[in-house]
Amino acid sequence: MPQTIKLALLDDYQKVALKLADWDRLRKRGVEITVFNEPFRSIDDAAQKLAPFDVLQLLRERTAFPRALIEKLPNLKFMVLTGARASSLDDKAATERGIPISNTPGGGSNASTAELCWALLMSCARDLAKGERLMRSGGWHDGIRNMVVLEGKRLGVIGLGRLGSRVAGYARAFGMEVVAWSQNLTEEKARQGGARLVSKDELLSTSDFVTIHLVLSDRTRGLIGAADLAKMKRTAMLINTSRGPIVDEAALIAALRTGTIAHAGLDVYDKEPLPAGHPLTRLDNVTLVPHLGYVVEESYRHFHEGTIADIEAWLEGKPINVINPEALKK
């Protein structure tokens, strides 16, 4: 290996990466660290700026790494993916180049995303974002349309895994009825998750709140489209803290504009960061937050400390947490 290893930490939007772990452990081993605080404008922009680096830390799915980008990075030898997986990373392309990818598994119980989901749901139920805007502009009250209590309402959970089950537990604590659906969900698993299994159509047409907890895949991309939104109550509210493309964005914008549904609470989007002036930002009946599900200090410390451990192991020639072990044979 070269005497100096160039490491890039990507997408440190909050400018906290260097404060949350002991990076001197790597510097003492000849690792030169550069931090990128802003998203890249394009694949070509990323390729130009990242070309000198030997090692990259990818902060979840903020910068996508398709084949087209990986093939433009001649010096790249190793990547660390924070978290467990990322559908936006082409691990096959990295494997073909002999570039191992280590992840930072563990580090929590999914509580941060589940709690953010519930905060969004409660904010939508009482239209807190509108109230906050009114207060800051010198206003006070402006109607009570679509402001509701949660007790006695029905929550529809699409995807009743670890996250969905946790959110179902919150709903029961608030006196809500919980129903659930996903392609592989069984009645027994639904009961174990604290919900009653129903069809997708019944969930959409009878729920007062619908929350999504699925992994983005070919099967779930566009799972909620215009026809699905049309089945929902006009008073219903949709919460998405999973991945933006699970819901057809254009259909959602149209449904919010026409009052097909009452409100949406979104933490995830088709394109992130959400572009300035995006149509969603012009709608009053949507509560927007900038992909905060995993953005808590505990998770960040785990990501960065895990990155250091992964790089140390790679420097020793004994990489750990490798998600594409075939790359080690190249």
- The DSSP secondary-structure symbol of 50 reads H
Catalytic residue (choose from 60, 62, 154, 243): 243
Q: Is 243 a catalytic residue?
A: yes
Given its phi and psi angles, is residue 13 left (phi above 0), alpha (psi -120 to 50 degrees) or beta?
alpha
CA distance linking residue 122 with residue 131, whole number of Å: 13
Catalytic residue (choose from 60, 61, 272, 302): 272
Cα–Cα nearest to 51, from 97, 8, 94: 8
Cα dihedral 62, 223, 160, 297 in deg (nearest 10) = 10
CA distance linking residue 211 with residue 43, whole number of Å: 33
CA distance linking residue 309 with residue 151, whole number of Å: 46
Catalytic residue (choose from 154, 166, 263, 291): 291
Sign of CA dihedral 310, 312, 315, 317: negative
CA distance linking residue 236 with residue 229, whole number of Å: 10
Which residue numbers are catalytic?
A: 243, 272, 291
